[in-house]
Amino acid sequence: MAKIDDGALAQLFTEARTRNGWDPTPLPEETLHALYDLVKFGPTAANASPARFYFLTSPEAKARLAKLASGSNAPKILQAPVTVIVGYDLDFPETLPKLFPHAPGAKDWFSDVTAREWGALRNSSLQGGYLILGARALGLDAGPMSGFDNAGVDAEFFAGTNIKSNFIVSIGHGTDEGLFPRNPRLTFDEAAKIL
């Protein structure tokens, strides 16, 4: 596999920014399908793919979410063309016979409630990261957020299911409105060790 060029690395990582302001122009549904079709190939444990993505595009759906967000996040949700609720399905083991067919007993690996919860949260977090990178790869911006009432979102959007909210991500074409200066990052020696 060849290394991608510096321009692609910049688009995905070094020059990409978390956006707070948005061009409200709607994104075509085809773009959302294309985004998911990238995200679904990101690796998860046992190919479990526990994330569930609710793409909120209508003013009504975004208003339902915004009322459950912390004060500074509500306007971002309302302005962005799409805000995605990244959830995790605690019933994900039911899909393992389809998604991990070479291990017929894989469903039983998650019979323990704690293992199922950790597996769902950990792997949906990975998939949410893939969503951000996938959006950037398609020329979109992303604005991930965690400031919202999880229990309220679960009741509002996931009632009657075993899906729980993890975090939310606005996507679209960002503006420089409310763009903060790039914050520092930890150096390799501060964050990593080679053993």
pLDDT tens for each residue of 38-53? 999 999 999 999 999 9
Q: Is residue 181 part of a domain?
A: no
User: What pLDDT is attached to residue 111?
Assistant: 93
Look at residues 95, 97, 21 and name the one whose alpha carbon lies nearest to residue 52: 95
Look at residues 95, 87, 90 and name the one whose alpha carbon lies nearest to residue 48: 95
The domain of 32 spans 25-176
User: What pLDDT is attached to residue 34?
Assistant: 98
pTM of the model: 0.96
Q: Is residue 192 part of a domain?
A: no
Q: Is residue 10 part of a domain?
A: no
| Helix (H) or strand (E) run with residue 52 in it | strand 51-56
Q: Is residue 4 part of a domain?
A: no
Domain of residue 92, CATH code: 3.40.109.10
The residue length of the chain stands at: 195
Strands 21-23, 141-145: pairing kind: unpaired
134-152: per-residue pLDDT in tens? 999 999 999 999 999 999 9
Q: Is residue 108 part of a domain?
A: yes
Q: Is residue 145 part of a domain?
A: yes
Residue 39 in 3-state DSSP? helix
Measured distance CA(89)–CA(113) in Å, rounded: 13
Q: Is residue 119 part of a domain?
A: yes
Measured distance CA(22)–CA(11) in Å, rounded: 18
Q: Is residue 54 part of a domain?
A: yes
User: What pLDDT is attached to residue 108?
Assistant: 94
142-190: per-residue pLDDT in tens? 999 999 999 999 999 999 999 999 999 999 999 999 898 999 999 999 9
Looking at the structure of the chain, the number of domains it has is: 1
- Using a pLDDT cut of 90, give the percent of the chain over it: 98
